[in-house]
Amino acid sequence: MEQQQQLQRSTSGSPRSPSSQPYLSVSVTDPVKLGNGVQGYISYRVITKTNLPEYQGHEKIVIRRYSDFDWLRDRLFHNYKGVFIPPLPEKSAVEKFRFSAEFIEMRRQGLDIFVNRIASHQELQHSEDLRTFLQADEETMERLRSQETGIFKKKPADLMQIFKDAQSKVSDIVLGKEKPVEESNLEYEKLKHYIFELENHLAEAQKHAYRLVKRHRELGQSLSDFSEAVKLLGACEGGALGKAFSELGTKSEALSVKLQKEAHQLLMNFEEPLKDYVRAVQSIKATIAERANVFRHQCELAETMKLKEINLDKLMLTRSYKMGEAEHEYKEASYLTLKAENEEATRRFETIVRLMNEEIARFQEQKTLDMGIAFHEFAKGQVRLANSIADAWRSLLPKLEACSTQ
């Protein structure tokens, strides 16, 4: 994951770049635990270095917590329809894991990657919300978080109405009263199928990567326990056999340390990148769902406009004796308003389609690079570990053979 982090930062420019080249570099550092129990949280220093004119100076340091990063992601998802918003690292609800050194470092790296993906994105790097996140003081950020009006901040009565509307919609579809409106686009269907398949395969690979990490740790612990036992056995035996057992225990202890270290590297550089891409695919699925909503809204407006056109034509025929001039103008104005809404919905949908086409190409390119790094690091780690194990046992063979031939 460290290599992935460096790669993300390199794409966002460097403070050492020539002044004529625009750059925006962000670092998430120095996690500090504040508070206790359920009120406890981790704060981070977010350091921004840039020469972009819209920023306040070349360097800015602010303090942020996880909920601030969450706010940024929600704002970007709301304002940039069609763009694949980078995922956040997961939260841990279990107290003993939430503040463990390993989890804190894993989250810090994940947050660093998250914000640098945004800073290096052609569209997102110009976001006003990103500038606010990177520059505003803590009081401003707290106030902005409290102003959010997402679904999880609505009043219970509002939520009940949302769920009732959704239930009614589902019932209409099930009973055949309404058929879901979907795009009939073969290429888009292939894309959706690929994304769903990719999520399943990545999740399966991540599950087995987790098992590999667990196996390395368990083997490391077993070797540590074996080391203690065989050292005691050596002390009991004495002589050449006792010395051989003592060396066997020392080698086992050293290998235990190597296994634990390799397990940590495997977690950071292999399992976490896989888990990160599972979350990235889920972000893509959220964009797909949003595209479907916009498409349905466009279709509904188009259908309503057709009905309005028919009614308007009928009214035109009866205008002279059934309808006054003012009433006719009102109906016509209503139709024109609906037509403008329909054209805006069409533009929104076309923008989402264009952005998604650009985003999927960028995603594929970045995924190839990141997965290549992750699997390369995995292979290097396994070779390194296998060589260490082989060298350790090989060095003991002459002494153990000498004992066995006496």
pLDDT tens, 58-98?
A: 999 999 999 999 999 999 999 999 999 999 998 765 555 67
How much is the pLDDT for 22?
87
Mean of the per-residue pLDDT values of the chain: 84
The residues pairing with 60 across neighbouring beta strands, listed in sequence order, are 48
The closest of 127, 86, 90 to 370, measured between CA atoms, is 86
- Decide: 183 and 295 in contact? Cβ < 8 Å: yes
CA dist 384 and 393 (Å) reads 15
Residue 4: pLDDT band with limits 50, 70, 90? low
Tell me the pLDDT tens digit for each residue of 237-258.
Answer: 878 888 889 999 999 999 999 9
pLDDT of residue 13: 45
Mean pLDDT, residues 19-45: 88
- Res. 21: pLDDT tops 50: yes
What is the radius of gyration, based on Cα positions, of the chain?
30
CA nearest to 287, candidates 347, 365, 355: 355
Phi, psi of 124, rounded to the nearest 5 degrees: -70, -30
Using alpha carbons, list the distances in angstroms from residue 106 to 260, 274, 389.
Answer: 16, 13, 27
pLDDT for res 165: 54
Spatial contact of 76 and 70, defined as CB atoms under 8 Å apart: no
Q: Is the pLDDT of residue 368 over 50?
A: yes
Token pair for residue 272?
Answer: 């976490």
Strands lying side by side in the sheet with 41-50? 24-34, 41-50, 59-65
* Cross-strand bridge partners of residue 171: none
How far is the C-alpha of 189 from the C-alpha of 194, rounded, in Å?
9
pLDDT, residue 170, reads 45
pLDDT score of 150: 47
115-125 average pLDDT score: 94
Among the listed residues 294, 279, 257, 291, the one whose alpha carbon sits nearest the alpha carbon of residue 83? 291
pLDDT at residue 130, rounded to an integer: 96
pLDDT tier for residue 155 given thresholds of 50, 70 and 90: very low
Q: Judge contact between 293 and 348, C-beta under 8 A.
A: no
Q: Which residue has the tokens 């969450």?
A: 70
Residue 257, C-beta contacts closer than 8 angstroms, at least 6 positions apart: 220
Residue 35 pLDDT > 80: yes
Q: 76, 41, 87, 43: which is closest to 150 by C-alpha?
A: 76
Does residue 114 register a pLDDT over 50? yes
Residue 190 φ/ψ, nearest 5 degrees: -65, -40
pLDDT at 142: 92
148, HSE (Cβ side, Cα atoms, 13 Å): 21
Give the pLDDT band of residue 49 (cuts 50, 70, 90): very high
Round to whole Å and give the CA distance between 55 and 76: 18
pLDDT band with cut points at 50, 70 and 90 for residue 14: very low
Longest Cα–Cα distance of the chain, Å, equals 123
Q: If DSSP codes are grouped into helix, strand and coil, which group holds residue 355?
A: helix
Residue 405, pLDDT > 60, answer: yes
Give the 3-state secondary structure of residue 376. helix
Percent of the chain scored above 70 by pLDDT?
79
What does the pLDDT average to over 200-228?
96
Provide the b/e sequence for 77-102 (b: ≥16 CB within 10 Å). Answer: beebbbbbbbbbbeeeeeeeebbeee
Residue 160: predicted pLDDT: 52
Contact between 125 and 119 under an 8 Å Cβ cutoff? The reply is yes
- Percentage of the chain with pLDDT > 90? 59
The pair of three-digit structure tokens given for residue 133, joined into one six-digit string: 């996140």
DSSP H helices in 128-238: 128-135, 138-146, 156-174, 186-237
- 3-state DSSP assignment of residue 392: helix
Where does the pLDDT of residue 204 fall: very low under 50, low under 70, confident under 90, or very high at 90 and above?
very high
Tokens 């570990």 -> residue: 385
